[in-house]
Structure 1
Amino acid sequence: MQISAVAKEINEWSGSVLICGILEGRIESQINSFKTIIKDSYLSQRFNDAKFEGQKSQKLSIELNEGKIKKIIFVGLGKAENLQVEDLRKAASIGTRQVLGYEKKLGISFPWDAFDPSSAASAVGEAVRLSSIKDLRFKSEPKESTSIEEVELIGLNVKATELAIAEINPICEGVKFARELVSAPPNFLTPYQMSKEAEKLASDYDLDLKILNKQECEDQGMGAYLAVAKGSDLDPKFIHLKYSSKTAKNKIVLIGKGLTFDSGGYNLKVGASQIEKMKYDMGGSASVLGAARSIAELKPSNIEVHFIVASCENMINGSALHPGDIVKASNGKTIEVNNTDAEGRLTLADALVYACKLEPNAIVDLATLTGACVIALGDEIAGLWTDDDKLSSQLTKAAAKAGEGIWRMPMQDSYKSGIKSSIADLQNTGPRPGGSITAALFLKEFVNSNIPWAHIDIAGTCWTEKDRGINPKGATGYGVRMLVNWIKDLSQKPN
């Protein structure tokens, strides 16, 4: 998809399908912009008949028989004094869904003056691109086309938006890649296949790659990770990708939980646990690999980024992890497994120890870790746990720029008592109250205290059962844009 800013008025634009944002309470003044395209009286009448007042998310489609422009989709933006970039993003998504399959060239006219041009261009361009994605890989019918090939942002400053627009497609390709990983069925996306996807990334974008097999993980003492993998006939794959610029001054590690399928083990998922959806338990790894895809193409300077995934399945066989087993992680800590369905934190434990050995400036992990986080924050907001205020601020800013919800949660030290074991150093779950907090506290036990670290629980945000425009029903690719924004910011402000 080609996206560009054009310094034109609406009446100078040469395309045939137009999306226009309308402010509530300012319809009459905005109608003047369309004088040469459509009669004032006709447009006013159509607005009146449809009771279109420019309220948020209102939409009205008008077909035209004369002139160059054949169709206009008006989308309400709400009141001018409350207008935010997120409103542009949502309006662009609403309008795009109305024209998919209609025309190859699309024009968008919004009240840009209220915003930084690059921020507005990024938000709207990403919204159109991501709203257009359809995953049809596993359908038997012929592949469909989104049909939108060209998008012009009418009246937006060309020079001020050049860099932001150039970054839209690389970032959105990362989100698309993450969505496809999450959407893929577990008989396709196995740990082995995930390692092959990493190999392709390394080959296509000149990334360094190391994949540890089962024996190599045993040699590193990864007893917690390997204990989870024992119940599967498929071998685990520990994936380590690296991007490095020539002048790397910051070293960052991104870790994604990589359970390609989670049955729950002997604590089998039943009822409301939705075992049939547990292909998305590798949502964290998808976000991390999606970010790798984007960062490798964007090539930020002054930074080295490591992408780590401890990939495996959590299944049941005669060798599987038992409730009550004690396993030893690679930092020597012993863990009593009181619930085999709390397996993600076991795989992350050894991944975190491995990451610390790289001596990075910061570590961030993403994981579909707890149902408790979904209960606390719902399906639009991820939970953020960190003791580092600077890291929290950076990630929150990066998520806000992406329009991805995130909320900092407490690291209540007194809750540590909930994960103490009488016969081992730790147990892998605590009491039900505060379950997402005790999960974060468990992970903290495997991170060096001198390394800034953040845990992001995306259990609610990596998948949606509702069509939200920019995030159609299914995999969302949550976290890719946040991570890329964060890495870009760090690359511009080296330590």
Structure 2
Amino acid sequence: MTALTLSTSTAATLRADAVVVGVAKGPKGPVVAPGAEVVDQAFDGKLASVLETLGASGDEGEVTKLPAPSGLKAPVVLAVGLGELPAEDEAFAEETLRRAAGTAARALAGVKKAAFALPVEDAESAAAIGEGALLGAYSFTAFRSGGNGKKKDDKGAPLGEAAILGAKPRDKAFKAAAERAAAVAAEVNRARDLINTPSNALTPKLFAEAAQTAAKEHGLKIEVLDEKALLKGGYGGIMGVGQGSANPPRLVRLGYTHPKAEKTLALVGKGITYDSGGISLKPAGHNETMKCDMSGAAAVFAAVVAAAKLGLQVNVTAWLALAENMPSGTATRPGDVLTMYSGKTVEVLNTDAEGRLVLADALTRASEENPDAIVDVATLTGAMVLALGDRTFGVMANDEAFRDTLHETAQEAGEQSWPMPMPPELRKTMDSPVADIANMGQRMGGGLIAGLFLKEFVGEGIAWGHLDIAGPAFHESAPFGYTPKGGTGSAVRTLVRLAERTADGELG
């Protein structure tokens, strides 16, 4: 993994393979951003005009490489676009710095050490740069080899070290911010690794074993319910989804506790390690990326580990509802009725609406512990992607204030989200003639209907939020900013920030 260091050195004194500077869009052309003064001096104060000659404009995500002049220790200067120049009395937004650092780190893949001379106003901006660099440097190489099973090559090797210039390594605030950035980035990348792992190498059992390994390493309590325990316990939702697969389901509880904690958060994640759609088989072209249907479970798993690493004064539990949704002679059929862990019966009209079934059991089980709040995370509906696109997740809740808190928390963390309504009239469309509720309602507003279904299984009086990350969880286009192609680790940073706010007493 890429190392993160803070340095009081300048680009003229720090030995590195490349130095990263920021360039913004000014009213009359590109403008060199604060932090790059020493680099600009090495160009005799003409770095902006040199960049303009090379075609740079300062657009966000733009990358320009040029040889470094004498006076700098690094042989290469990489200028990364920051977008519009902020007003004179304003600083660059943390998310702008995070994305710029990520873009630069991707462009410097394979480089041993890079110095980041981006604008550092305070500990938070330094942390944003560090976090962006660590996230941007991510690569997934677990299944690569040199060919014919030989030793792996170095293709895709990440940036080795990111040194943040202008930071204060001995300052407590800077040191703590850098440590947080490293911990959070490591857990986002853990989630990415899980999401990118092929389904044949991450069955429910293997996912549970990965959680057991992490629990031992970080002092977390863990409980794993296998198929026998699930059947005996009456987990009809999880068993109903998983019964068609040769790889049986699991329900995993990971728990982090702090001796001085006054609040408890329960995080519930959809963990469909592969989703064929079951008997309601997905059409051709919709199966290839379905290894990512466990992104919600990956997110809550990573978030609870991050809480432990940071020693947050809050109790956090993660519930991983793990199953493989496959068609077979033992699979649940459309029209079957399942008896859920809560005792409610569900008519299954579409076996491809399986995520809500495993989440329902996990939500009921999590509610039994009476946490102060429950947040579930799931790649739940294509309808949410149609509504919000592929970079924004939807936020629903049984309490408007809590929904707003989740949305604000995502914004603070740098993740795009949008609050969604829960129209009560849509609930009637899930009425079933044979069961308490059906797992499908009307086609229009499908993402909202899924949220209303989940709400039925949350304990009375518990604040509950639902994050539908179907859009941003798996990125199929070209990388941008600190977002790679493939698994993104969506919602991890939001959940960690929520845990921090809860520890600070901000959760009512």
Q: What TM-score comes out, normalization by structure 1 length?
A: 0.93
Partner of 2:79, secondary structure, is strand
Identify the residue that residue 136 of structure 2 maps to in structure 1.
Answer: 131
| Equivalent residue number for residue 25 of structure 2 | 24
Provide closer, same or farther for how the CA distance between residues 147 and 357 of structure 1 changes in structure 2, counting only shifts above 3 A.
Answer: closer
Counterpart AA for 1:17 = A
Name stretches of at least 5 consecutive residues in structure 2 with no aligned partner. Answer: 147-151
Residues 126-275 of structure 1 mapped to structure 2, 5 A cutoff: 126-141=131-146, 142-144=152-154, 146=157, 148-158=159-169, 159=171, 160-272=173-285, 274-275=286-287
SS in 2 for 1:55: coil
Structure 1 residue 9 displacement after superposition? 4.5
1:279 and 2:291 aligned: yes
Partner Cα separation in structure 2 for residue 315 and residue 348 of structure 1: 17
CA separation of 1:66 and 1:147: change in aligned 2, threshold 3 A: farther
Letter in 2 for 1:305: V
1:106 counterpart residue number: 114
Q: What are the Cα deviations for residues 434-466 of structure 1, in whole angstroms up to 9, with x where unaligned?
A: 000010000111012300001111111110012
Is the Cα contact below 8 Å between 2:415 and 2:494 reproduced in 1? yes
Q: 2:485 aligns with which of 457, 470, 473?
A: 473
Q: Does 1:37 align with 2:45?
A: no
Give 1:402 shift: 2.4
What is the CA–CA distance in structure 2 between the aligned matches of 1:401 and 1:186, rounded to whole Å? 33
Partner Cα distance (1:457, 1:147) in 2: 30
Aligned runs of 1:422-461 on 2, under 5 Å?
422-461=433-472
- 1:37, 1:69 within 8 Å by CA — same for their partners in 2? no
Give distance in 2, aligned partners of 1:319 and 1:224. Answer: 15
Residue 301 of structure 2 corresponds to which residue in structure 1? 289
CA contact (8 A) 1:310 1:347 kept: yes
**Does structure 2 retain, via aligned residues, the 8 Å contact 1:223–1:327?**
yes
d(CA) in 2 for partners of 1:149, 1:275? 35
**1:450-495 Cα deviation digits (max 9, x unpaired):** 0000111111111001212311110101111111111122112277
Listed one character per residue, the Cα deviations across residues 43-73 of structure 1 (whole Å, up to 9, x for unaligned) are 3552232232333333321112534231111
Paired residue type of 1:258: G
Measured after TM superposition, the shift of residue 147 of structure 1 is 5.4
Q: What is the CA RMSD across the aligned residues, in angstroms?
A: 2.0
Query: For the residues of structure 1 that align with 2:376 and 2:255, how far apart are their CA atoms?
Result: 16
- Aligned mates of 1:32, 1:318 — CA distance in 2: 69
Matches within 5 A, 1:66-105: 66-67=70-71, 68-77=73-82, 78-81=84-87, 83-102=92-111, 104-105=112-113
Letter in 2 for 1:208: K
The SS at the match of 2:289 is helix
Alignment CA distance shift 1:480-1:325 (3 Å):
same
Distance change (3 Å), C-alpha of 1:241 and 1:36: same
Aligned with 1:48 (options 32, 49, 52)? 52
**Equivalent position amino acid for 2:50 in 1:** R
Tell whether the 8 Å contact from 2:8 to 2:166 is kept in structure 1 after alignment: yes
C-alpha distance in 2, partners of 1:48/1:208?
Answer: 56
CA 1:65–1:277 in structure 2 vs 1: closer, same or farther (change >3 Å)? same
Offset, 1:84:
2.1
- Secondary structure of the residue aligned to 1:245 is coil
TM-score when scaled to structure 2? Answer: 0.91
1:120 to 121, 125, 137: 125
Deviation at 1:395? Answer: 2.0
1:186-233 deviation per Cα after TM superposition (whole angstroms, max 9, x unaligned) = 111001101101110111111111111222222322112211111112
User: When the two structures are aligned, how many residues end up with a matched partner?
Assistant: 488
Residue 340 (1) aligns with residue 348 (2): no
Q: Which shows bigger deviation, 45-54 or 483-492?
A: 45-54
**Cα distance in 2, alignment partners of residues 59 and 276 from structure 1:** 32
Contact 1:123 1:402 in 2 (8 A): no
Describe the superposition over 1:392-439 as per-residue Cα deviations: whole angstroms up to 9, x where unpaired.
Answer: 233223322322111110011111111111221101011110000010
Q: Which runs of 5+ in 1 are unaligned?
A: none
Partner residue in 2 for 1:399: 410
The aligned amino acid for 1:280 is: C
Say if 2:369 is the partner of 1:358: yes
Q: Is the 8 A contact 1:174 1:292 kept in 2?
A: no
Is 1:414 paired with 2:438?
Answer: no
- Give distance in 1, aligned partners of 2:180 and 2:226: 35
SS of residue paired to 1:187: helix
Post-superposition offset of 1:12: 4.5
Match of 1:381 in 2: 392
